[in-house]
Amino acid sequence: MLTVKEAIIVEGRYDKIKLSGIVNAPIIETGGFRVFSDKEKQSLIRQIAAKRGILVLTDSDGAGFVIRNFLRGVVPAEQIKHCYIPQIDGKEKRKPHRSKEGLLGVEGVTDEVIIRAIRQSGATVLGEETRERQPVTKADLCLLGLAGGENAAVRRQALLKELNLPTYLSANAMLTALNCLFSPEELCNTVAALEERGLM
């Protein structure tokens, strides 16, 4: 079980149940979109973020990103970290039908996927050595043809698809996600490998 310093923000109770068996950390539910109008929940999240930081772990569908973006406006940037699970096709066992986008949510992915995502997010895992790494910057994206160039949007889509990340990430959200996954050198190697395979 991972012990994480930050409180983890999830969408609903089944996500909380899933996380409770994997991570030793406070887990707060947004209640889905209810957090938009729940001033008390927003205040609680702000207080916790100020005290220990928060790690946002929502589903990788459109609704999850709406909640994630809302929380960006509630909590100062230095107090929030983002954890992204990959887009994986499938259906949760307890549900009779696939979700609208046909993707597994937090409750449906394996423990290993969640643990890997938490480690890659930059969360403070207590008891494990952490090493500072250089962040990927917008300048890196420009140099790799992922921003500012003629085919940048096409190249970004190819990279996001290959990494199983949501293809509708904005450039800024993609930068956040890439910093959870790669050092600048690792990103450069990944892009080079995609170019060699003719995928970019």
Identity (one letter) of the amino acid at 125? V
The secondary structure of 184-199 as a DSSP string is HHHHHHHHHHHHHTT-
Q: What is the mean pLDDT of residues 57-68?
A: 92
Q: What is the tens place of the pLDDT at every residue in 137-195?
A: 999 999 999 988 888 889 998 998 888 777 777 777 788 778 767 788 889 999 999 99
Residue closest to 84 by CA, chosen among 53, 101, 108, 105: 105
Q: What is the tens place of the pLDDT at every residue in 81-126?
A: 999 998 888 887 787 787 788 888 899 999 999 999 999 898 999 8
Q: What is the tens place of the pLDDT at every residue in 18-43?
A: 999 999 999 999 999 999 999 988 98
Question: How many Cβ atoms sit within 10 Å of the Cβ of residue 136?
Answer: 25
The Cβ-side half-sphere exposure at 98, using a 13 Å CA radius, reads 9
- Give CA–CA dist 141/26, Å, rounded: 35
What pLDDT does residue 132 have? Answer: 59
Asked whether residue 79 carries a pLDDT value surpassing 90, the answer given is: yes
- Supply the angle between the helices 39-52 and 62-74 in degrees, to the nearest 10: 70
What pLDDT does residue 9 have? Answer: 96
- Give CA–CA dist 100/90, Å, rounded: 11
Tokens, residue 139: 């300048």
What pLDDT does residue 131 have? Answer: 56
Q: What is the mean pLDDT of residues 65-73?
A: 94
C-alpha distances (whole Å) from 93 to each of 11, 15, 52, 104, 187 are 18, 13, 34, 10, 35
Do the Cβ atoms of 80 and 54 come closer than 8 Å?
A: yes
What pLDDT does residue 82 have? Answer: 94
Q: What is the mean pLDDT of residues 45-61?
A: 92
- Give CA–CA dist 146/8, Å, rounded: 30
- Sheet hosting strand 80-82, strand order edge to edge: 27-29, 7-10, 54-56, 80-82
Do the Cβ atoms of 22 and 31 come closer than 8 Å?
A: no
Asked whether residue 130 carries a pLDDT value surpassing 60, the answer given is: no
